[in-house]
Amino acid sequence: MGLEYDFDIVKKALDHTDPELAKSGAAEGVEVRALFRDIKTADALRGASPKVRKMFQDAGFGLDAHDSGIAPGVYPSEDTPERERILRALFENIKGRGVQGEYCGEFDFWQFLGHVKRAQPGNGVVRSAPVLQEPPQRDQAKPQKRAVPGRIGFALGLAVILFVVFKFLAAAGASP
């Protein structure tokens, strides 16, 4: 199954206005980023070559994921101006810098471009399938218990080593 290339426009208030962000549409202390909804797609972009990542980041994409729960192929109509600005900047970056010969990993530009063409503005229709959450990380401070076969294997290995050591000591003339 391929990646889902849906992305959301996320606005984040900034503590300070960075001149570089102001150029990319982050005036008035608001940073505007396009974030992929699927964590696998964001991971695929993070796994691409630094040049490809930089093109996306310079255009206004972030490397994190943000799932708004909107149905695939649909984006909020109020995001249209920012979406178009970010996509225009991305296409200018691709045209100016080129991606030929760059490692893209699982990220497929043709599927991404096809998705951009097919995506339609909507009124925030909620995704029909529930979003799968990643299982919580296990606490690493607590050591895992060994399984019974592992315990038996460890005991047998220790017994064999002790047997060999005792045989060696008996052959050398020493007794425990």
Is residue 49 assigned to a domain?
Answer: yes
Residue 44 shares a structural domain with residue 84: yes
Higher pLDDT, 162 or 140: 162
CA separation for the pair 34, 7 (Å, rounded): 6
> 84 — alpha (psi -120 to 50), left (phi > 0) or beta?
alpha
Hey, is 68 helix, strand or coil? coil
Contact 3, 109 (CB under 8 A): no
Q: Is the domain of 83 the same as that of 18?
A: yes
Q: Give me the number of domains the chain comprises.
A: 2
Q: 171: pLDDT confidence band, cut at 50, 70 and 90?
A: confident
* Nearest one of 36, 44, 96, 78 to 60, comparing CA atoms: 36
Check whether residue 152 and residue 107 sit in a common domain.
no
Does 109 share its domain with 154?
Answer: no
Same domain (yes/no): 89, 20: yes
Residue 164 lies in a domain: yes
Cα–Cα nearest to 3, from 96, 83, 53, 72: 72
Domain annotation covers residue 103 = yes
Strand 7-13 versus strand 30-36 pairing type: antiparallel
C-beta separation of 35 from 77 below 8 A: no
Same domain, 97 and 174: no
Per the confidence metrics, is the pTM higher than 0.85?
A: no
Q: Is residue 129 part of a domain?
A: no
Q: Which residues pair with 131 in a beta bridge?
A: none
Tens of pLDDT, residue by residue over 88-138, are 999 898 888 887 778 888 888 888 888 889 988 887 554 444 444 455 555
Residue found under tokens 């959301």: 8
Residues 14 and 89 placed together within one structural domain of the fold = yes
Q: Are residues 17 and 95 in the same domain?
A: yes
Q: Which range marks the domain in which residue 165 is found? A: 144-176
The answer to whether the CB of 55 falls within 8 A of the CB of 27 is: no
